[in-house]
A and B are shown apart, each in its own frame.
Chain A
Amino acid sequence: MSEKRPPTRRFSTIMFIIILVALGLSIAAFYQAIFAFANQEFATGSYFALIGIMGLTFLTYLLIQTRRKTLKLPIHAQRVATTILCQKCGFKNIRDFQRGDYILREAGECPKCNEKMIINSVYREAKEEKKGTQKLS
């Protein structure tokens, strides 16, 4: 289990050859289509144009599938907030979570009434769900 660089998808030689062949055929088909349309052969031109479009669609799909890219990191940094509350006067202090914080821990004296304050909450605010799913709730 040695340390490695961030993962990337590999680009295979066979896939590269397939892409090149598909690209060649598509370009040639478009050339033939233009040539046929110029000679008023609309059926032939449409056929070649169709072949060209299909070839390019296939090519785009392959490129999307095989492009070299660094994969999205699945570990998300989450902002966690700590709320310190004075139980007597209700004075509240919200700050970023610090190591050692825990719910119901004593957290010094209240600057207003000198009573003991406690950590009342430690939580993160998660992003809202996609609108499409909210409609069904």
Chain B
Amino acid sequence: MAADAARNTRILAVCGKGGVGKTSISAALVRGLLAGGSRKILAIDADPAVGLATALGMNVEKTLDDVRNSLIDRLESGAKEDRRDLVSLLDYEVFGALVESGGLAFLAIGRPETEGCYCQINDILKDIIGSIAGSFDYVVIDGEAGIEQVNRRVMETVTDLLLVSDASAKGLNVVRTIRDVSARLVEHGRAWLMLNRIRGAAELDRLALPDGMDLLGWVPEDENVRLTDIEGGSLLAMRPGPALEAVAACLPRLESAGTERSGQPLKMK
């Protein structure tokens, strides 16, 4: 069912080193996609810091971690559930954790899953998110910093990895690492490079970009974004500026690339 549903869904995972602006890029992508008309968009904040909620002006009352923990408490207090009951209960609770605004639904993951006795719950939650995601036109996942989520196979069915870096060598090295790891783990899909807070074309020319990656675009430093971040404001409500325009300009290429290759989701090997 999830596979059928996911057939036409573009799942964009935004990854990169901490501090390079993944959350702002994710929020700007959501804004650009919302501006594109009657689309259903699911934004998933997979960063435990839950920064995307603020960047989208969403008030989160319940995270996926809360859902998981309340079920674990229930099971530890003696409730016996078979798999179908667990699925329906978790599906109900996860849907209840979605925050909605117009064509946008938002889900915060909260604390990352812990390994151990609750693999079944974690697996079911992944299936449920996959199933819910399949009902949307676009899913934008703001990943946690670094490589861990790709390693843990959190992003199992993404169609597009958006690897974000600033101009720093450290940021670009993390992009290379994520690209290498994802190339080992991922069968289909596309990895894009997106550069953030670039001080003009001359700076871009000086950067040693990773080989073999499509540069989707670069986003200039933008005082509006910085001030919005400082104030804890929403990028959805921010007045247009060069950063938002640069992200919006990337979308046609991203979208047309999706239609060229039939939107096949990435599958982990």
* A associates with B: no
A residues whose Cβ falls under 8 Å from a Cβ of B = none
